[in-house]
Amino acid sequence: MYKRCVIVGGAEIENYDFIKNELCEQDYFIFCDSGLRHRAKLGVEPNLIVGDFDSYEKPSDDIETIVLPIAKDDTDTVFAAKEGIRRGFEVFLLIGVIGGRIDHTISNISILLMLDAANKKAKIIDNYSELEIIAKDKTYVDDSYPFFSLLNISGHAKGINIRNAKFELYDAEINCDYQYGVSNEVIPGKTAEIEVGEGRLLLVKDRV
């Protein structure tokens, strides 16, 4: 039984071994258009292929494929996320969605907000970091990550507390127009604790 929806985009992937270690047999894979170029190096087969195929040739495999029009509101990746919701998935992992064109990168990061609004658990892994939306539930970051950042990409966030970190916060606010929560560090041997009283923040955990 599939437990997680993995969406594969066409952005560059440098460390395939790391990504492969994050995947499991129970994953349901949706490949988006040029994300198919990662198929062989990831060593997984699509369960579903979606795209308008303006940047990659439509495969002839006997795999379920949804062909999208080129002129549309949703990008291929946004459509894939909506399709994953429609198919009942509660947990999402997006890979190959950051890098290259900045407009696509920002759009793909915004998918995390869409999935959070649908009460889904979601994460993006790129070549350097892991990204997720955090809100009222207490979140933890261990000291295996050299740096972590809290960014506001949606509205207003307040009641923010950070403990066991180099730069701690107490009942703080972070607005979209002043991103001062960048490049914090977990105290060695500790686990940072993050609380957001109101609003949502993007947590970026840097691996390198």
Q: Among residues of the chain, what percentage have pLDDT more than 70? A: 100
The pLDDT value recorded for residue 53 is 85
The pLDDT value recorded for residue 143 is 95
Q: Which long-range contacts (CB under 8 A, 24 or more apart) does 78-82 make?
A: 78/107, 78/111, 78/114, 79/32, 79/50, 80/7, 80/30, 80/32, 80/48, 80/50, 81/7, 81/111, 81/114, 81/115
Tens of pLDDT along 175-192? 999 999 999 999 999 999
Q: Which residues of 86-125 are buried (b: 16+ CB within 10 A; e: fewer)?
A: eeebebbbbbbbbbeeeebbeebbebbbebbeeebebbbb
6, HSE (Cβ side, Cα atoms, 13 Å): 24
CATH architecture of 134-206: Sandwich (2.60)
The pLDDT value recorded for residue 93 is 98
* pLDDT greater at residue 55 or residue 186: 186
Q: Which fold has domain 4-127?
A: Rossmann fold (3.40.50)
pLDDT of residue 1 exceeding 80, the answer is no
Tens of pLDDT along 107-166? 999 999 999 999 999 999 998 899 999 998 899 999 999 999 999 999 899 999 999 999
pLDDT of residue 69 exceeding 90, the answer is no
The pLDDT value recorded for residue 89 is 97
CA distances for 44 relative to 20, 127, 154, 156, 197, angstroms: 9, 19, 34, 40, 40
- What mean pLDDT value characterizes the chain? 94
pLDDT of residue 199 exceeding 90, the answer is yes
pLDDT of residue 12 exceeding 90, the answer is yes
pLDDT of residue 56 exceeding 80, the answer is no
pLDDT of residue 106 exceeding 80, the answer is yes
The pLDDT value recorded for residue 197 is 95
The pLDDT value recorded for residue 58 is 80
The pLDDT value recorded for residue 127 is 87
The pLDDT value recorded for residue 83 is 97
Domain-by-domain residue ranges, the chain? 4-127, 134-206
Nearest by Cα to 96 from 82, 79, 77: 77
